[in-house]
Amino acid sequence: MADPLTLVYLTVPLVVGVVSGYLVRNRRQVKLEKPIVAIVVVLIFSLGFSIGSNSELLAALPQVGLQALVIAVLAIVFSVAFVMAGRKLVKA
Amino acid sequence: MIKYIVSALVFGAVAGYLVNNFLSGFPTTLIADQLFSVALIVALFVFGFSFGCDREAIRKMRQTGARIVVFPVLVALGSIVGGLVAGLILQLNVAGATAVGSGIGWYTLSGPLMEQLLGAEWGTLAFSANFLRELLTIVTIPLMVKLDKYAPIASGGGTTMDTTLPLIVRYCGKDTLITAFSNGLVLSLIAPFAVTAFASLV
């Protein structure tokens, strides 16, 4: 994903989606609940697949797992705390 | 919903492991990369579409101005401080641990980048820590959203423009789509610079 093109190929479908949704908003009600669940399941499955098939990651996790976990948890905790505090300050 | 997600993740991981170890010759990137990219592009279009149709979401969107600017800055700072504190607790090189935290969840970037800058050990740690950040975000979204509507966006960091976006929209509401996407986008631009900057202090 270390490719600037990634940013483009993710932004384009989103923008096209928003615009086309906006254009048809008065025509009819579209039910998107089920397709969204299906897409999310496919997405998470392929994410799981890339983890399971990554031998290097699976070999590395037992060695550095604890350190990695501490860094991940603290990065999450401080990010969440800063955003919650910031939301109170600027009322965002 | 979270049951489906965790099952899909577990089934995917088991399938990936089996295919990789017992079905030599099967192109694993077909599912890991191609299927993933296609599903992601479809997901972004569908989310965009359902957001565009929704007058309520668009009305709520008008109030998001400040969030788009403020969130990524706070999340980047939180990740940096988190890495720093973790470095102190674990008695690691503090600049190195801060660089790992600065990956902000983008493991496919921070892993190889840290490996290049500081060697294989730091690369492995950066990859694992940022991967765990994404995984923890995915499984804790239903809990975190109870803490604060935007907590999952803070937790997801750079991943909120792709892998964690569908779950965030699902649990935090359609009106969070643009905030989440732009948060991930800006953080994906910040991460490479932050990682390189802190790694250079080691």
Higher model confidence: residue B99 or residue A60? B99
Which of B45, B129, B132 is nearest residue A16 as measured by Cβ atoms?
Answer: B45
- The closest alpha carbon to B80, from B96, B103, B101, B95, belongs to B101
Residues of A in contact with B40 (CB under 8 A): 10, 43
Q: How many domains does chain A have?
A: 1
Residue of B178, B164, B118, B126 whose CA lies nearest to B5: B164
B48 — phi, psi (to 5°)?
Answer: -60, -45
pLDDT, one tens digit per residue, over B36-95 is 888 888 888 888 887 788 777 777 666 677 788 899 999 999 999 999 999 999 999 999
CB contact residues (below 8 A), chain B span 150-189, against chain A: 150-151, 153-155, 157, 161-163, 166-167, 170, 181, 185, 188-189
Is residue B103 over pLDDT 90? Answer: yes
A83 pLDDT more than 60 = yes
Structurally, how many domains does chain B consist of? 1
Domain that holds residue A63: 4-90
Residue B134's domain spans which residues? 2-199
Q: What's the rounded mean pLDDT across residues B126-135?
A: 91
Q: Would you state the structure tokens that stand for residue A77, as one six-digit string?
A: 């905790």
| Alpha carbons A74 and A51: distance in angstroms, whole number | 23
Q: Give the model's confidence band at A1: pLDDT under 50 very low, under 70 low, under 90 confident, else very high.
A: very low
**B132 touches A: beta carbon within 8 Å:** yes
Q: Which residue has the higher pLDDT, B131 or A34?
A: B131
Nearest to B49 among A21, A50, A77 (CB): A21
* pLDDT mean across residues, chain B: 88
Distance from CA of A66 to the nearest CA of B (A): 9
Whole-prediction pTM: 0.81
Name residues 19-58 of chain A within 8 A of B (Cβ): 19-25, 30, 32, 35-37, 39-55, 57-58
Q: Could you tell me the two tokens for B161? A: 């423009």
